[in-house]
Structure 1
Amino acid sequence: MASGPTTYWDYIKVEELLALQTGLEDDEAALSNDEIMFIVVHQIDELWFKLAIRELVSVRDLFAQEHVREQSLATAVRGIRRAALLFQQAAGHFALMETLTTRDYLAFRDKLSPASGFQSAQMREIEIIMGLGEAERLPLGHETYQQALRYPDGSGSPASRRVERRLHDRPSLREAIEAWLHRTPIDGSVPDGPDDAARVTAFIDAFLAAQRDEINEIKTRAMDNALTEQDRERLDKRYQGELAAARSWLEARDVEVGDDESRRAYRSRVRAALVFIESYRELPLLAWPREVIDAIVALEQAFTIFRQRHARMVERVIGRRTGTGGSAGVAYLDQTALAYRVFSDVWATRTVLLRRAVLPPLRHPERYGFADADE
């Protein structure tokens, strides 16, 4: 530790930072302003990713506890929303990158080959922490993402070792939050309570009955305004399909059970918890859980927009040519923006929610109020 008063430049390591923009040269004077900007933007992105990883791990660790105290949910929400804001900041850098013309970029692009942004280990870490499964990944081309992180001779690199460590860092944020949701009291019932399965089923049935009445009313009005019999048949089929899809989703009929029926029951209870929290969010003990869910939506939305914004920047600067690392370039980036959804159940909940006036009444609303001071 340096003696004497602390200076800004020592604390921030300003001189060390400013010496890191040389690229493949010994002296940054050999680089154009365009290349220096390209390097700086990516370095800043990696610093944002570092902060996002720290926030996501802290939130994951909080939800990985066997008992998550209600008082700690505000801290979790702050961490999730900070990570979302970090992705927004990173996405904003693409406007600066777009000041590069195609010719400007091509002047130094060959230096990068076969390097690629696909080799950002921290980007892969973020995906792993959030809960993107290995089977959900899209193929880059002839190699896997793990192979792309190794040195050209196949040996391990700091990037590959970083990601390998993260793969063993369980649970993911999605797994931890789903375990927390699974423990949510639904209509006063908890997973290890008596007749919990029956009580959760009763809640689902009551909710779906309310949804059926609501959709049938909407369908009646829509069919009254239909111009032809074909229109009425189309509307009837569409609304009936919406009802069937809601039941299938809440009962987790899309989950393959194999020899383990509990997988479907687990997923169904997680989804019921999401609907329960969103529907009765005014109850005191559900207010912060609902904030958690909304923050998760904001997080994944920001990450998705980052991917989409990246794709449009690349297309604007270099079109749809093959990426420096041999990927399909823009086409690959567009695919990941569509396919890499981690919290799909949280998003799907929006499709089945009802307005407050038609929700079925709760059996035990008193269990979701604040405890008395002397309790």
Structure 2
Amino acid sequence: MEKKQRPPVYYSEYLQLDKILNAQMPESAKEGIKADDEMLFVIIHQTYELWFKQILHELDIIREIFRQPNVADNSPDIYNSVHRLKRICTILTVLVDQISIIETMTPLDFLDFRDLLRPASGFQSIQFKMIEAALGLNYENRFGQEYYLSQLNQTDIDRVKKAEDEESLLVLLNRWLERMPFSNDEACWSGNAGENGNHPFWDSYRKTYAEGLSPVEQQNLATFDKLFMNENEYPSDRRLSSKASRSAFFIMLYRDFPLLQLPFELLSMLLEIDELLSLWRHRHIHMVQRTIGKRVGTGGSTGAGYLKSAADNHAIFKEIAELTSFLLPRHEIPELPAKLKDALSYNR
């Protein structure tokens, strides 16, 4: 079959450069006010929004993978998800570094045009709210709910609410972790119950963990029991289920086994995303303090105060991070049964 001839692709047309390079319309120019740094301000924020669009694209692909009824732990889908999460982390690193560029604008440079922007604000970034929702930040856990939708038009409110109605990556991750059998696979553990009728792995692990706690760490044991030993006492406010938390913890412990290496990388990338988002917010806080001091934001928020509270409250995957409280040194981690070792090493 003869290959269809396509018309030649021209660089500027392919990239729609006429639209992009003519999309900067500083308010100061409209008013005849000299404000040389407004062009930088516009381009920086347009660049942010382009990167936000790419992050949403990556998250859509990852969530589509995890919507499948079965995602094998060693499948190309898991590799693809980890690869795209790493890309998101790289993009977020660029977004953090990009603040250094806008920090070349001095407070007086910003005051040349700042009042012309009201009430426009980065708080109105629909794509960033959609990213947070896609990752798993739900409305109930948001700081400043009174501001959250107040500055948006109805079209954008509908877009945000639609994004929040979709299954987030955190919800899909919980479902995937619940399907992992290893930590509770009775066949691999020979079905022997522990001392208190619990699974033998968790009884053995608890004993070793308790022996290594210092007096000031004893409260950790009570938390360990709620998370891993008694499902009836499992905290109702956690987003990850008891079974999902057990699986995530098991992955952390036995990450060196081939079958768990990619799942561990996936969990690590999620924690990296939380860390980079927090770093971005804190860099933003320092930039705002340096540029406008204690002034309110152009959108009416408390400026740096709002940003700090959001940074402190918007960790999405903190329940995974908290599991590190219960890790043991490698030489103290319980030995796995031979059958389970084989399963985790592809020896089937």
Q: TM tier, shorter chain?
A: 0.7 to 0.9
**Cα distance in 2, alignment partners of residues 40 and 164 from structure 1:** 28
The equivalent position to 2:225 in structure 1, one of 238, 242, 247, is 247
Q: Alignment partner of 2:37: what SS? A: helix
The equivalent position to 1:309 in structure 2, one of 277, 283, 288, is 283
The equivalent position to 1:36 in structure 2, one of 30, 36, 39, is 39
- 2:92 is the counterpart of 1:87: yes
- Residue 28 (structure 1) shift: 11
- 2:318 is the counterpart of 1:369: no
* 2:114 corresponding residue in structure 1: 109
- Aligned-residue Cα RMSD (Å) equals 2.8
* 2:179 corresponding residue in structure 1: 183
- 2:254 is the counterpart of 1:256: no
Go from structure 1 to structure 2 and tell me whether the alpha carbon gap of 1:16 and 1:210 turns closer, same or farther (over 3 Å shift).
same
* 1:149 corresponding residue in structure 2: 152
Aligned partner letter, 1:203: F
Deviations 1:208-229 (A, max 9, x none): 11211233xxx4xxxxxxxxxx
- 2:333 is the counterpart of 1:359: yes
- 2:50 is the counterpart of 1:47: yes
Aligned residues: 333
* 1:8 corresponding residue in structure 2: 11
* 1:226 corresponding residue in structure 2: none
Aligned partner letter, 1:247: D
Go from structure 1 to structure 2 and tell me whether the alpha carbon gap of 1:51 and 1:99 turns closer, same or farther (over 3 Å shift).
same
Residue identity over aligned pairs, in percent, reads 30
- Residue 254 (structure 1) shift: 5.6
Q: Alignment partner of 1:187: what SS? A: helix
8 Å contact from structure 1 (residues 207, 359) kept in 2: yes
- Residue 180 (structure 1) shift: 0.6
TM (norm. structure 2) is 0.87
* 1:59 corresponding residue in structure 2: 62
Go from structure 1 to structure 2 and tell me whether the alpha carbon gap of 1:29 and 1:45 turns closer, same or farther (over 3 Å shift).
farther
8 Å contact from structure 1 (residues 49, 123) kept in 2: yes
Question: What are structure 2's unaligned runs of at least 5 residues?
Answer: 1-5
Question: What are structure 1's unaligned runs of at least 5 residues?
Answer: 151-155, 220-235, 258-262
8 Å contact from structure 2 (residues 89, 276) kept in 1: yes
Q: Alignment partner of 1:68: what SS? A: coil
* 2:3 corresponding residue in structure 1: none
- 2:163 is the counterpart of 1:166: yes
**Cα distance in 1, alignment partners of residues 313 and 85 from structure 2:** 21
Go from structure 1 to structure 2 and tell me whether the alpha carbon gap of 1:239 and 1:26 turns closer, same or farther (over 3 Å shift).
closer
* 1:292 corresponding residue in structure 2: 266
Q: Alignment partner of 1:42: what SS? A: helix
**Cα distance in 1, alignment partners of residues 66 and 294 from structure 2:** 41
TM (norm. structure 1) is 0.81
**Cα distance in 1, alignment partners of residues 302 and 177 from structure 2:** 38
* 1:98 corresponding residue in structure 2: 103
Go from structure 1 to structure 2 and tell me whether the alpha carbon gap of 1:99 and 1:366 turns closer, same or farther (over 3 Å shift).
same
- 2:105 is the counterpart of 1:131: no
Go from structure 1 to structure 2 and tell me whether the alpha carbon gap of 1:255 and 1:33 turns closer, same or farther (over 3 Å shift).
same
